[in-house]
Structure 1
């Protein structure tokens, strides 16, 4: 399953040169692709770089002590499990109960393990279809969803 899924992803994916959205291009070039890596685990690298890049202050974490410790170590002034989050993290799309009504414009949701199983990928695709989501990015290891009311709905397959 994983090999076939990864090969399909490679066929669909691009890097920042194939992106026509100024918002996504800036996010990729100034955040995700920016060196140095802050973690060897790709999802954690994207998570930590995104928090710093967008200067998120209120973060909701679902079931992840390891990620909570990383954030507390790198961002001591961030409020965790705030009721009005800027950023939400889920370790799997199967448990993602997105609080769309609590996320403001420019809110970000990071979901890990979107390609770990057929069920995970189906759940991810359902989240991408939500009318509340404007921008979705499939990084293979994880997926990112943005709420941006000023932007048309777009979906990207990008190599991190």
Structure 2
């Protein structure tokens, strides 16, 4: 926790809002999407989906494949507690929906479904198709039930390890407008997934990496990712790192408070 507090303090010292942004693309993204105050109708779906989980006292046995949890000491966990401590916040879920809508995302991929709160935020825009992969079968079962309950028919949930699915994506030469990396908060796997999925990006794709300041390892992974020659624009929002591949842009890095 000390590491993250220090990282957040450093972020605040170096971050900015829309003022002084010299990139028209990033300025529009920040003012028209990040800071959009519209009360979108889709927010009701996202809020109800999340509140439903927060009221669920059933316990499930969780299988962690990633960096593990700093909150839970046991693999037997109440659903409401997973939603509250490991799930995306409502604030971030709304932002994820706005990004999907603003960038006109049609085909998306998520690594790490968990209970599906972020999935619901992405798929709340019914024009967006989402393929999401979850390693833990019990967690995936809850998410699948939620998707059906909230009629999110545009989500295709795969339960299992990431690698076979990623290898299949590479084999099929599939392209995605958005890839959300939220399944393994460790340096090496994050870099490996990034490298493997890089061919799935096109000029207007966005990759979003969750918890880039989770640890020193994740910060190093973020530094390597944003310095990759194919990455033209990178945005650090502290919780997330966003990268864009726009060949027409000069390479720039931003730290934006959201």
TM-score, structure 2 normalization: 0.57
Segments of 5+ residues of structure 1 without an aligned counterpart are: none
Task: Specify the structure having the higher radius of gyration (Cα).
Answer: 2
Runs of 4+ in 1 over 6 A off after TM superposition: none
Query: 1:138 touches 1:144 (CA, 8 Å); kept in 2?
Result: yes
Q: Distance in 1 between matches of 2:233 and 2:203?
A: 12
Query: 1:135 touches 1:145 (CA, 8 Å); kept in 2?
Result: yes
1:153 to 245, 251, 256: 251
1:70 to 118, 121, 124: 121
Summarize the Cα distance change of 1:79–1:135 in structure 2 as closer, same or farther, 3 Å threshold.
same
TM-fit CA distance, 1:93? 6.5
TM-fit CA distance, 1:29? 0.2
Residue 57 of structure 1 aligns with which residue? 106
Normalized per residue, which structure has more helix? 2
1:84 to 163, 175, 180: 175
2:220 equivalent to 1:128: no
1:30 to 32, 41, 51: 32
TM-fit CA distance, 1:106? 1.1
Higher relative contact order at CA 8 Å, sep ≥6: structure 1 or structure 2? Answer: 1
Query: 2:207 touches 2:242 (CA, 8 Å); kept in 1?
Result: yes
Segments of 5+ residues of structure 2 without an aligned counterpart are: 48-88, 132-168
1:43 to 92, 103, 125: 92
TM-score, structure 1 normalization: 0.90
Deviations 1:22-41 (A, max 9, x none): 00000000001111474754
Moved more, 133-142 or 78-87: 78-87
TM-fit CA distance, 1:68? 2.0
Q: Secondary structure at the match of 1:137?
A: strand
Paired positions, count: 159
Alignment of 1:6-25 (within 5 A): 6-25=8-27
